[in-house]
Structure 1
Amino acid sequence: MGRDAALLKANVSRTLWLGFFRAFLVIMPVAVPFFQSKGLSMQEVFTLQALFAFVVMITEAPSGYLADLIGRRRCLILGTAFAGVGHSLLLVADGFWTLALFETALALSFSLTSGADLALLYDTELARGSSDRRQRQVVGKLYAVRTLSEAAAGVACSLLLLWVTLGGVVAAQVMVGWLPLLFALRLREPPVARLSAEGHLANMARIARHLLGGTLVLRLVFLALCIWSLTTFYAVWLLPKLWEQQSLGLAHFGYLWGGLCALSAVAGRWTHHLEERIGPTGVLAIMGLLPALGYLGLDRFGVVGGLLAASTFFIARGLGTVILTDALNSRVPSEFRATANSLASFGFRGLFVATGPPVGLAFDLWGLGTTLLMLAVLSLGIFAGLILPLIIAVRGLAAD
């Protein structure tokens, strides 16, 4: 094996480790209580997440485009550096505005790395001459690694809380926050075609035509990544309040979060196996209906029933993220793959900017039960208006 081949092979494990530590957020299971300990209301908590989404929204497409122009490795280095700085800001965070700086730094990190890591993995496998099946599997691997990291971080959070306060969890998060940079520095840029640095408007017009003016399946997949992803994302920020209302101790939050994330990782890792058994339309139907069922049952059957309902969001998240992301990446060329991934995230974040604060306000005004019912209706509407047409389009493609 030549030196270049060895370095490309190492890219796979290093990118996966980068993804693991980027998702290792020990603060996540107790983020809502931590924010509230700094004086924030639930509306302000959702507003912080909307701020995160807004910063990602305005930087996502430019950062993905930048990765396609100058290389994914350089963007990953810059993005992981922002992650380290952002997590370090937690040490001095106090009140809404200092937490807003933390969210802004993490948003910049997210936008610089979210499309670049997957594009680098996909293109590494292409450069190595891997089979189509192996190229498709990188989506499931990266998702599983990230989600297992979230699970491990949840357990670590609960273990830390046995001996330390929230401040100790924050300190651990700061230390872990710098680790992705170490792996980014050791990556190698795979040899792929890059976008021309001349004619930026022409480049963006070409990408937009490909995504929105191409095949119906690609167009609906892109829209599903933007819109359907919201159905599971709202639940992430409502679950801690549910557990709090059910009088579950704070130390249990990490275990619960870790178990749910592990379930999502397993679902993501086995998505392609399930797809081979029941077909892509079967997977789409399951992932499309599960969030609505989850919202309907989340607060109706006690703690155990609530956990079963919560699991539906994480199963749907695993199935949907992998099958939709793979469908997108297999239908776009390497030269603007990072931009395509970033544009999908741009759409999702933009929609959360518009809808996140109203969801938080609905919770503050009308309580959890009414908010969950509203989200169940919204999820069913997204299934009927977007996922069902995608299922019909995929069946039509198979018939041809």
Structure 2
Amino acid sequence: MQAVYFTLLIGNTLAASFIWGINTLFLLDAGLTNLEAFAANSFFSIGMVVFEVPTGVVADTLGRRVSYLLGTVTLAVTTVLYYLLWVWHSPFWAWALVSVLLGLGFTFFSGAVEAWLVDALTATGYTGSLEQVFGRGVSVAGVAMLGGSTLGGVVAQATDLGVPFLMRAGVLVLMFAVAALLMRDLGFTPVDRGHPITATKHVLVASVKYGLGRPGVRYMMLASAFTTGVGFYVFYALQPYLLELWGDEGAYSIAGLAAGIVAGSQIIGGLVAPWLRRRFRKRTTSVMLAVGVSAGILVVLGVNRSFWVALALLVLWALIDAAAGPVRQAYLNDMIPSSQRATVLSFDSLIGSTGAAAIQPVLGRSADVWGYPFSLALSGLVQAIAVPFVWLSRRSGEAADVATVTGEAAEPGEPAATDAATDAAPDGPGASPGT
């Protein structure tokens, strides 16, 4: 199952990353302002907010495999539409509409693939840590992102900004065939919730009960509204920011290289995740430190004027986020029952997308008025708001904060299985050099 999961990750990330290094440049080249470009990204997030629950119904009723297949088809079609909008220099309303539909495509993936993996691992008797699997997944995705984003930037410079979007659509079609052949729902029994409207109501109730209704999950989700919103903005704002520092706005390969550096940092960060988990007794310690430190890095990026220093800070920022990401994933999954896993993970994505929809236009407008450096520093201050929410999740005393094995979600206060290394690890930033 892990091999299939990694295959899906490679395909999805490769397809998506072809345009990650040049997406903002693509939108600006189509005639949009910074405000409009990041507003288009915001409409993508709005699409995810609107469709997360309905597509969660698909994943929990028709199955995770069906949800994935629908996602590949939807994304392939909407990616081609995005390309056509660029060719036609379409008005902003058209970009907003297609961006919403792109969000629909991604909601078929969010929650479903991760839930499919965890259910399959449990069904096949896996007893290792989730951090190890998710960490490897981050590294595998980082390899695909490194190749895809760098290639996308090089191809854009050699041809034009639209070709990477066509490449993306082609790989998505290929991934539809791969998933149809390899992906099978294991350890999951579809839930018959009746009429779609009734099913959606049940999903919302489950999301509230197992998501917002559980303190540990609730506060971690609320934190994601700030971290996800800032993460979306920073990743895409770095493209024009680095070109500005480099001094050549047509050097698209530099923008692709920037995304490739983030990918390389993810490869290392994913491998570091299990090690990071052992440095602290509680998972929330790692997450809280990562959020705080990366926020500080963004503030420093905002006052920096050196291209090479910016690259170094970018590596550090991506490395920290990549290492803490699998820890957060494992923490959430250990708090969620299998039958509601896709639903609650989708709801987590919904909260993050809500934050992204609200935050990106504001930061984009700040870039129009005061420049990219100011907007990056402001991003760091916004992300810092997430730290108290992670601390509140920690204070809830969830067993999953120290759990290290897969399985059904434990109730708050129940003992969780831990290994000797975890029990012995000090709970604080002075655990070892570099932490």
1:71 to 63, 76, 82: 63
Alpha-carbon contact 1:80-1:109 (below 8 Å) kept: yes
Residue 362 of structure 1 corresponds to which residue in structure 2? 366
Residue 410 of structure 2 corresponds to which residue in structure 1? none
Residue 242 of structure 1 corresponds to which residue in structure 2? 241
Alignment deviations for residues 334-363 of structure 1 (CA, whole Å, 9 cap, x no partner): 111111110001011112212221111111
- AA in 2 matched with 1:380: A
SS at match of 2:185: coil
Aligned residues: percent identity?
Answer: 20
Mapped partners of 2:37, 2:205: distance in 1:
36
Mapped partners of 1:205, 1:334: distance in 2:
16
Alpha-carbon contact 1:19-1:180 (below 8 Å) kept: no
Residue 17 of structure 1 corresponds to which residue in structure 2? 7
Alpha-carbon contact 1:61-1:339 (below 8 Å) kept: yes
Matched, 1:121 2:131: no
Give the structure with the larger helix fraction: 1
- AA in 1 matched with 2:19: I
Residue 377 of structure 1 corresponds to which residue in structure 2? 381
- AA in 2 matched with 1:236: F
SS at match of 1:178: helix
Residue 205 of structure 2 corresponds to which residue in structure 1? 205
Alpha-carbon contact 2:42-2:356 (below 8 Å) kept: yes
Matching of residues 174-185 of structure 1 within 5 Å: 174-185=169-180
- AA in 1 matched with 2:290: M
Residue 74 of structure 2 corresponds to which residue in structure 1? 82
1:49 to 26, 41, 61: 41
Residue 291 of structure 2 corresponds to which residue in structure 1? 288
**Deviation at 1:202?**
4.6
Alpha-carbon contact 1:56-1:107 (below 8 Å) kept: yes
1:261 to 251, 260, 263: 263
Distance 1:202 1:338, change over 3 A: closer
Residue 317 of structure 1 corresponds to which residue in structure 2? 321
Alignment deviations for residues 21-77 of structure 1 (CA, whole Å, 9 cap, x no partner): 222221210111111111111111111101100011010122113211111111111
Mapped partners of 1:308, 1:367: distance in 2:
21
Matched, 1:302 2:306: yes
SS at match of 1:28: coil
Mapped partners of 2:398, 2:206: distance in 1:
28
Mapped partners of 1:297, 1:40: distance in 2:
28
**Deviation at 1:163?**
3.5
Mapped partners of 2:72, 2:32: distance in 1:
28
Distance 1:191 1:374, change over 3 A: closer
Mapped partners of 1:54, 1:185: distance in 2:
29
Distance 1:168 1:211, change over 3 A: closer
Residue 143 of structure 1 corresponds to which residue in structure 2? 138
**Deviation at 1:132?**
4.2
Alpha-carbon contact 1:292-1:375 (below 8 Å) kept: yes
Distance 1:393 1:206, change over 3 A: closer
Alignment deviations for residues 305-348 of structure 1 (CA, whole Å, 9 cap, x no partner): 11122223312321332111211111111111111110001011
2:154 to 144, 159, 162: 159
Alpha-carbon contact 1:232-1:313 (below 8 Å) kept: no
Structure 1, unaligned runs of 5 or more = 1-8
**Deviation at 1:367?**
1.7
Q: Name which of structure 1's ranges 117-126 and 14-23 shifts more when overlaid on structure 2.
A: 14-23
Mapped partners of 1:323, 1:343: distance in 2:
18
Alpha-carbon contact 1:19-1:142 (below 8 Å) kept: yes
Mapped partners of 1:336, 1:391: distance in 2:
22
Distance 1:181 1:236, change over 3 A: same
Alpha-carbon contact 2:24-2:237 (below 8 Å) kept: no
**Deviation at 1:179?**
2.1
SS at match of 2:111: helix
Residue 225 of structure 1 corresponds to which residue in structure 2? 224
Residue 92 of structure 1 corresponds to which residue in structure 2? 84
Residue 22 of structure 2 corresponds to which residue in structure 1? 30
- AA in 1 matched with 2:52: E
- AA in 2 matched with 1:26: F
Alpha-carbon contact 2:64-2:113 (below 8 Å) kept: yes
